[in-house]
């Protein structure tokens, strides 16, 4: 059996695939422009949804995830899956962002971002506490010799036969940044879709604005969660397995995920918007 080694660092961009992604996104944006005009709520919402999706895809790359090896103290990071941890943080952020929607776009998306960052800060802290006080293991990166933020040396704190363990400070910081971007992007998608549904559903369903409000909130919430998962999973495929955060060589792959997220968010976004806008 031939065993192909896993790519460990940045991998080359495929220009054809990236060009196709951009063409697909431009085609969808162009279609929305022709159908609805550029200075309309629907067009602006589509652009916001695409931007939110790209932010989610980018943010996932910051989240330090070690998967199964981390659960055995064999590799650094949080012992769970990339997409699911990012989703947990982003959706906790979306919860806070949805609370703040009546306060306006900027407040809502920043509140969503802070909600995601807070979830990740608490989770990362408990990972460190479990490793330190439950297992007696110090944090050590397997990818860099020196922590890029604190300057702490790493190699001598790796136990024998492992690639490192725990969460070095840069991974903690990466987790918080990833949670912020995920919460911010997810809430942006939710906010944009909610505006479209609140404007269009009363006509479509021949009902008052207050009567359709629960339907609008539910639809926007479901589509926001769905699009969050689409972008988180795309980013997880790009990362392939585990990452330590922004100081991991795999972080250099993020442009490829952003191209994919732009195209996927455009496709999902136009479908979510056309549910109510046509």
Q: Per CB under 8 A, which of residues 122..141 are in contact with other proteins?
A: 122-139
| Tokens 């998962």, located at residue | 229
Taking CB under 8 A as the rule, does residue 87 contact other proteins? Answer: yes
Contact 91, 113 (CB under 8 A): no
The candidate with the shortest Cα–Cα distance to 143, out of 256, 12, 7, 245, is 245
Work out how close the CB of 51 gets to other proteins at its nearest, in angstroms, rounded to a whole number.
20
By CB under 8 A, which span of 27-35, 50-58, 64-72, 243-251 interacts with other proteins? 64-72
Q: Please, which contacts does 131-135 make with residues 24 or more away whose CB atoms are closer than 8 Å?
A: 131/73, 131/165, 131/166, 131/167, 132/166, 135/73
By CB under 8 A, which span of 35-43, 46-54, 104-112, 266-274 interacts with other proteins? 104-112
The candidate with the shortest Cα–Cα distance to 143, out of 235, 241, 232, 3, is 241
> How many Cα atoms within 13 Å fall on the side-chain side of residue 261?
35
- For other proteins, give the closer residue by CB, 33 or 157: 157
Q: Where does residue 160 fall: left (phi above 0), alpha (psi -120 to 50 degrees), or beta otherwise?
A: beta
Residues 6+ apart with CB under 8 A from 151: none
Residue count at the site for other proteins (CB under 8 A)? 82
- For other proteins, give the closer residue by CB, 78 or 263: 78
By CB under 8 A, which span of 16-24, 28-36, 68-76, 246-254 interacts with other proteins? 68-76
The site string for other proteins over 206-245 (x = CB under 8 A, - otherwise) reads: --------x--xx--xx--x--------------------
Taking CB under 8 A as the rule, does residue 54 contact other proteins? Answer: no
Taking CB under 8 A as the rule, does residue 270 contact other proteins? Answer: no
- For other proteins, give the closer residue by CB, 10 or 241: 241
**Distance separating the N- and C-terminal Cα atoms of the chain:** 54
Taking CB under 8 A as the rule, does residue 205 contact other proteins? Answer: no
For 145, other C-beta atoms within 10 Å of its C-beta total: 9
Taking CB under 8 A as the rule, does residue 151 contact other proteins? Answer: no
């Amino acid at each position: 059996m031939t065993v192909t080694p896993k790519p460990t660092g940045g991998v080359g961009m495929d220009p054809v695939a990236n060009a196709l992604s951009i063409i697909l996104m431009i085609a969808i944006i162009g279609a929305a422009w022709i159908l609805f005009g550029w200075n309309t709520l629907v067009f602006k919402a589509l652009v916001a949804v695409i931007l939110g999706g790209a932010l989610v895809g980018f943010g996932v790359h910051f989240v330090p995830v070690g998967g199964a090896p981390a659960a055995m103290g064999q590799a650094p990071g949080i012992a769970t899956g990339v997409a699911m941890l990012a989703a947990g943080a982003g959706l906790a952020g979306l919860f806070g962002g949805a609370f703040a929607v009546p306060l306006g776009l900027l407040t809502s998306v920043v509140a969503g971002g802070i909600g995601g960052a807070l979830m990740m800060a608490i989770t990362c802290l408990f990972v460190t506490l479990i490793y330190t006080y439950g297992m007696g293991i110090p944090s050590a990166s397997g990818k860099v010799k020196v922590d890029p933020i604190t300057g702490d040396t790493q190699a001598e704190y790796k136990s024998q036969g492992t690639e490192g363990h725990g969460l070095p400070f840069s991974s903690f910081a990466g987790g918080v940044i990833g949670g912020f971007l995920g919460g911010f992007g997810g809430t942006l998608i939710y906010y944009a879709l909610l505006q479209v549904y609140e404007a269009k559903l009363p006509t479509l369903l021949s009902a008052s604005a207050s009567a359709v409000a629960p339907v609008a909130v539910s639809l926007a919430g479901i589509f926001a969660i769905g699009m969050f998962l689409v972008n988180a999973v795309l980013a997880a495929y790009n990362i392939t397995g585990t990452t330590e955060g922004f100081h991991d060589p795999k972080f250099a792959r993020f442009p490829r995920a952003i191209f994919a997220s732009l195209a996927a968010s455009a496709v999902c976004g136009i479908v979510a918007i056309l549910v109510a806008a046509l």
